[in-house]
């Protein structure tokens, strides 16, 4: 396990970390397996220092592997992390409730990552579509509402920063 600093059960409190002790968290295709997700977000907030970066990459719900993997316990979409952001700071026109936890984050970035196709034209088309859709929040909302069922995205990447 090269480059692993800590091994922990993410369904339990992160007691191996004191408050305000972590500068960066990178979770790649992990959080879709966590049962106690809201409690984990509270723990992430607790252990992160101010100005920390939390990068989360998870399968988007339109990806068939998101719902076919029997170990996945939840799905993620464009608005998932907005539930941990004060409504006034949510970057999208559609606002979601922010009352699940008192700890808040800033949502610095949301990016759809499309799976590249196996041909040159497929890769070129996918890259252009990805750049177009990720260009602004309005396009992302349009994609999420109308297009993701016809042109699925592989994963969604969120970059957050705790509000302290």
How far is it, in rounded angstroms, from Cα 98 to Cα 86? 6
Predicted pLDDT at 127: 86
- Please enumerate in sequence order all residues whose Cβ is within 8 A of that of 99, keeping only pairs 6 or more positions apart, or say none: none
Q: 116: exposed, middle or buried (C-beta count within 10 Å: 0-12, 13-18, 19+)?
A: middle
Question: Residues 125, 128, 130, 135: what is their CA dihedral angle, to the nearest 10 degrees?
Answer: -160
Predicted pLDDT at 122: 72
Predicted pLDDT at 119: 73
Predicted pLDDT at 160: 98
Predicted pLDDT at 68: 93
Predicted pLDDT at 4: 75
Predicted pLDDT at 1: 58
Proportion of the chain above pLDDT 90, given as a percent: 82
Predicted pLDDT at 31: 97
Our measurement of the distance from residue 90's CA atom to the centroid of its chain's CA atoms, rounded to an integer in Å, reads 14
Predicted pLDDT at 88: 97
How far is it, in rounded angstroms, from Cα 114 to Cα 130? 6
How far is it, in rounded angstroms, from Cα 96 to Cα 94? 7
- What is the pTM (predicted TM-score) of this model? 0.92
What residues in the chain have per-residue pLDDT under 70?
A: 1
């Amino acid at each position: 396990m090269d480059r692993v600093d800590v091994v922990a059960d993410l369904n339990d409190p992160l007691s191996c970390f004191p408050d305000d002790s972590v500068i960066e968290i990178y979770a790649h295709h992990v959080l879709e397996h966590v049962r106690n997700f809201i409690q984990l977000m509270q723990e992430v907030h607790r252990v992160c220092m101010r100005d920390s970066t939390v990068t989360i990459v998870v399968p988007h719900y339109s990806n068939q592997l998101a719902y076919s993997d029997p170990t996945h316990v939840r799905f993620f979409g464009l608005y998932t992390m907005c539930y941990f952001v004060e409504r006034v700071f949510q970057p999208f026109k559609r606002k979601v409730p922010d009352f699940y936890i008192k700890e808040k984050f800033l949502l610095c970035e949301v990016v759809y990552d499309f799976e590249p196709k196996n041909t040159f034209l497929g890769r070129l088309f996918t890259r252009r579509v990805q750049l177009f859709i990720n260009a602004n929040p309005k396009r992302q909302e349009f994609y999420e509402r109308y297009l993701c069922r016809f042109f699925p995205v592989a994963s969604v990447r969120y970059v957050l920063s705790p509000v302290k």
